[in-house]
A = this chain, B = another copy of it.
Amino acid sequence: MELTQFTDFSLRTLIYVGLKNGELASIREIASSFAISENHLTKVVHGLAKSGHLKTFRGRGGGITLGKAPEEIAIGELVRELENMAVVECLRPDGGACCIAGICKLQHALRRATEAFLAELDHYTLADLITNEVDLKERLRVS
């Protein structure tokens, strides 16, 4: 059971950009700090800009900043947006093809487990993830 790399990189990107305190970040510096692919990160940043979590400015002097205050970026909500949370096929909107879907108590148990996972993440906003700003900035070499 894993989150997609897309969700993982989206969350890391928001942490990085949040640490910049309004200064512009670049895809290059984020990719370099986390030692991840610039190519993947470009798609991640595009997605987060489309959903309003990031604002991007083109050209010389351009870069990336948060599209909302860190307190307004709810982690549970973001994961719901980014991730397919149907942990088994019968929890998909189309219901899947299992013949016991609807009367299956395992389906119910897995739905409750997924809700518990997300409810835990609902305790956090981006602001909560960057309270140890000094330590994070040092590790990530954020100037």
Please list the residues of chain A having a beta carbon within 8 angstroms of any beta carbon in chain B: 1-4, 8, 11-12, 15, 33-35, 75, 83-89, 97-100, 103-106, 109-110, 112-121, 123-124, 128-132, 135-136, 139-140
**Complex CA distance for A78 and B103, rounded to whole angstroms:** 21
- Collect the chain B residues with CB atoms within 8 Å of residue A116's CB: 113, 116-117, 119-120
**Complex CA distance for A110 and B12, rounded to whole angstroms:** 13
Judge whether B1 and A85 touch: CB under 8 Å: yes
* Extra 18 A-B pairs, beta carbons < 8 Å, given A12-B106, A99-B140, A103-B139: A1-B1, A1-B4, A1-B85, A1-B114, A8-B88, A11-B106, A33-B99, A34-B99, A99-B139, A100-B136, A100-B140, A103-B136, A106-B124, A109-B123, A110-B121, A113-B118, A114-B117, A116-B119
Judge whether B2 and A84 touch: CB under 8 Å: yes
- Collect the chain B residues with CB atoms within 8 Å of residue A105's CB: 124, 128-132
